[in-house]
Each structure stands twice: as C-alpha cells, then as structure tokens.
Chain A
Amino acid sequence: MLVRRLVDTRFFAWSLALVLVGMGSCRRQPVPVKQPMALSHKRHMEADMKCITCHPGAEDEVLAQFPAVADCMDCHHKARGEHPDEPRVRWFAEQKQEIPWIRVDRIPGHVYFSHAAHVTLAKMKCEDCHQGISQATRPLALPDVHPTMDDCMRCHRERGASNQCKTCHK
C-alpha cells in the first residue's frame, strides 16, 4: 500500500520538491566570497617576489599574515601594470584603511596550526599545502587548503612529527 502511495504523482512531486529545497540549503560546502579587489598571485610571482614578502609571518609566526596596505605601497606607490583595480591600492592607502581582504583559509577554533612550525621546523614549502597558488590569477574565493584531521595525521606520521592530541588541539 505504501509503495503505491509513494509513487503517487502529486505526493511524489511535493516530496521531491521539498527534498531538493532541503539539499539546496545544505551548507556543508563553503560559500565563495567576493574579495574587495583583484589580486593575481601569478603576476606577483612573475615579478620575482617571494611569498614571505607579503606574508611575513609564514616563517616565524603562527599566522602568515596579510600584507599591510603600507607594505603594498612600497611598490604600488606608483602605477604598476594595467589592471583597472590597481589604483584602488593607493585609494585604500590614502584613506588610511587596510584592504579588507576576507580570510578564506580558516582553521577551526579548536585547532592550532603554526606556519612557523611547518615552514621553518618541518622545512615545508608554501606550495606543499597551498597548491597552485603561484598560478592563481584571482584572489582566493574559496579555501585552497582544507585538510581533514586524517590528512594532517597522515602527513605527521610520514614526517615523524608528533601526533599527540595536544600538539594540535587547543
């Protein structure tokens, strides 16, 4: 009896519609963000810049950091390249405002991840985790690093780093 009810057209249509709405509102995937202006990592790498020039914390601090607009102005005090967004750097600097980059690579609140420990102590390269960032022509709209706990533990095991809970859990 139930089987017949289930394939009843009207019933089935309603249920299917509701299920699709539910799935559509599912938020397991991160939502792409709109960054305040254009940024091409590729262009900057082609200009022979190193990652730590803009992300100074990568070798010695927990967070790699974003560049301060004052640091951007070291080069961008005059026009560089032809991208229409480029003058906005100077606009932000004039307003004494930091460029409001939206951070997409976020660590969950209960996890401790130290760039210094990975870059300096483990001697990893930026692109070991941030794969393809040197070829990115647009700023990140979605996280480019999203390991699961298993991924972290596997890499730790392979490289002989500690897998104690307290190493990573806050």
Chain B
Amino acid sequence: MSKRSTGQTTRREALFLGASAAFAVAKGSARAAEAKSESPDPKVKTPQWSLAIDLDRCLRCQACVVACAAENNIAPAGPQLSQTMRPIHWMEVLDPQARGRLWELGPWPAPVPCMHCERPECVKVCPVGACHRADDGIVVQVWDRCIGCRACMVACPYGRRSYNWTAPAWPGGDASAVNPDVAIRPVGVVEKCTLCQHRIRAVTERARLDEEPVQDEKILRLPACAAACPSRAITFGDGSDPESAVSKLARSARAVYLLAHLETHPRVFYLRGKR
C-alpha cells in the first residue's frame, strides 16, 4: 500500500474502528434492552411457566428425547460426530453417575431439559444479548444474535446447552419432516430447550383471539416432551396460578430442585420418592 506517516493514519483508523464498534454495541444493546425491559400491560397477568417431571412415573424410555428432536428440528449427528461429541439433545436422559453433579436426581438417570432458571447464569455472561429471560419465565436463546462464543455453555451449571459444530444435515439431505414453526439453527450457534415456546405462543395467541383465558387442563401436556410421555411424567402449567396442576405439584413434599445450593431457582423441578 502507499506510504503513510505512522502516527496520523493509525489514529484515524483507530477512531473509525472505535466509532463503528461503539455504534454496533449501542445498537445491539439497545435492542437487547428493549427485549428485556418490556413493561407488561398491568391488566394482563403474565403466566409464569413451569415444568414438573415425576421421577416415579418416568420409565427413562427416552420418548421425550425423540419428541423434542422431532418437534424442534434437531438433526441427528450421525455416527462419526456421535463418537467425537454428544449429539445435540435439548432434552436428555442424563446419567448422574457419569456426570457426578446432578446429585438431587438420585442414583438413576433422569430426563433433564433446560432449567429455565429465574436467575440464569447463562444470561449473565452473554456478550451480545442473545440469551435473556422473557417476562413469562422462559430463558430465550435468539439464534440469530448468537455469535457462538459458548460462554453460556461454560456458565450453565446443568450443562444443558448444545453447540452446532456442523450445519444440520438430515439423512439423505431430505428435510421434508422439518417443523415450520421452529427455525433451523445454522452452524456456529448455541441452542437449548425453549419449553416449546412456539407451542406456548400459539396457545396464548389463540386464547387472545378467542377472548378466553388459557385453561390449565388444556396445557398440561403442551411441550412436545410432555405430550409424548407415555406415562404422563411431565406436567406443564402456570406456576403463578395456585390452582394449576403444576403449582400443586410444586407444593408437594416430593418436589426437588436441582443444584438448589446455587440458588438459580429453576422453573423446572422434579418429584422424587414414591408417590
């Protein structure tokens, strides 16, 4: 390139780069702030979604795992990739002995989705605001904003976040069975359980259109995992409604929260011990 005097041009360049970066960050965080600081309509009470998993009904059959993969367009990893790292499973039946830390589950494996913590560690570390907590309690991961730094994966004490090391590939390249309600994540983003947020949105929108409240009996099995479970071990509902099934389960003596000492206050809890 042409000669330039060292001092001047670098300063100009530095100013230009600094201004662009500041602009980008400001724009990004403005959007993120907007997303977070919604003041909800005081007339409408926002439901606080919660999920209960009854370990005395769960046969560990992994129907929930496959239902989640089918609902959320999680492509199979294939034999090669499965050997080097675990295939992506938002809902996974984890072996507590192998992992050693989810000790509240007891000695047996159990299905573990994202905990949707009230005080999420992942949100604290996301540099771009891709991960934040919505007003209804769901910890949202915005795929398009994620830059793939994986800090959230390190931060999550439950280890329930997965990274797209490769672009999703369906067997034979046939993506016909893709669910149009869930975006396909590209390579390089972190993904995790959304509590089937698309299904929740459809139900709440329908309720607003019909001008009727959402009925607890109709949403007991709303997420794909809960709908598929052959022994009805998974229950979903509004934790802020004291009469909902999931609230009653939360008040049960059998209710237990994973890694309670970390005070993440998960919205997903377990029922342990014989019923």
- A–B in direct contact per CB < 8 Å: yes
Instruction: Report yes or no: B142 in contact with A165, Cβ–Cβ below 8 A.
Output: yes
A141 located at the interface, meaning its Cβ lies under 8 Å from any Cβ of chain B in the complex? no
Interface size class of B (residues with CB under 8 A): 20 to 34
- Residues in B neighbouring A163, C-beta threshold 8 A: 34-35, 38
Instruction: Report yes or no: A117 in contact with B144, Cβ–Cβ below 8 A.
Output: no
B208 located at the interface, meaning its Cβ lies under 8 Å from any Cβ of chain A in the complex? yes
Selected from A120, A164, A170, the residue in CB contact (under 8 A) with B209 is: A120
CA distance A109 to B132 in the complex (A): 21
The interface residues of chain B, by DSSP majority, are classed as loop
Contact string against B for A residues 42-77, beta-carbon threshold 8 Å, 1 for contact and 0 otherwise: 000000000000000000100000000000000000
CA distance A165 to B140 in the complex (A): 8
Which B residues from 173 to 226 make CB contacts under 8 A with A?
180-184, 197-198, 201, 205, 208-209
Instruction: Report yes or no: A164 in contact with B201, Cβ–Cβ below 8 A.
Output: no
What's the nearest-Cβ distance from chain A to residue B145, in Å? 8
B17 located at the interface, meaning its Cβ lies under 8 Å from any Cβ of chain A in the complex? no
CA distance A164 to B201 in the complex (A): 12
Instruction: Report yes or no: A169 in contact with B144, Cβ–Cβ below 8 A.
Output: yes
**Contacts known (A110-B144, A110-B183); A166 close to B209, Cβ less than 8 A:** no
CA distance A167 to B201 in the complex (A): 8
What's the nearest-Cβ distance from chain A to residue B204, in Å? 10
Closest to A117 in B: B205
CA distance A2 to B6 in the complex (A): 21
**Contacts known (A112-B198, A112-B201, A114-B205); A162 close to B138, Cβ less than 8 A:** no
B143 located at the interface, meaning its Cβ lies under 8 Å from any Cβ of chain A in the complex? yes
Contact string against B for A residues 95-131, beta-carbon threshold 8 Å, 1 for contact and 0 otherwise: 0000000000000011010101100110000000000
What's the nearest-Cβ distance from chain B to residue A148, in Å? 13
**Contacts known (A110-B143, A116-B209, A121-B209); A170 close to B38, Cβ less than 8 A:** no
What's the nearest-Cβ distance from chain B to residue A167, in Å? 8
What's the nearest-Cβ distance from chain A to residue B29, in Å? 13
- Residues in B neighbouring A109, C-beta threshold 8 A: 180, 183-184
**Contacts known (A164-B38, A165-B35); A60 close to B183, Cβ less than 8 A:** no
Closest to B36 in A: A164
CA distance A112 to B142 in the complex (A): 13
What's the nearest-Cβ distance from chain A to residue B217, in Å? 23
CA distance A110 to B183 in the complex (A): 5
- Residues in B neighbouring A60, C-beta threshold 8 A: 209
CA distance A103 to B207 in the complex (A): 29
Contact string against A for B residues 135-165, beta-carbon threshold 8 Å, 1 for contact and 0 otherwise: 1001010111100000000000000000000
Closest to A109 in B: B183
Instruction: Report yes or no: A116 in contact with B205, Cβ–Cβ below 8 A.
Output: yes
**Known contacts A162-B38, A165-B132, A169-B142, then 8 further A-B pairs from the complex at CB < 8 Å, ordered by chain A residue:** A112-B201, A116-B205, A121-B205, A153-B31, A163-B38, A165-B140, A166-B142, A169-B140
Q: List 10 A-B contacts (CB under 8 A).
A: A60-B209, A112-B198, A117-B209, A163-B35, A164-B135, A165-B132, A165-B145, A166-B138, A169-B143, A169-B144
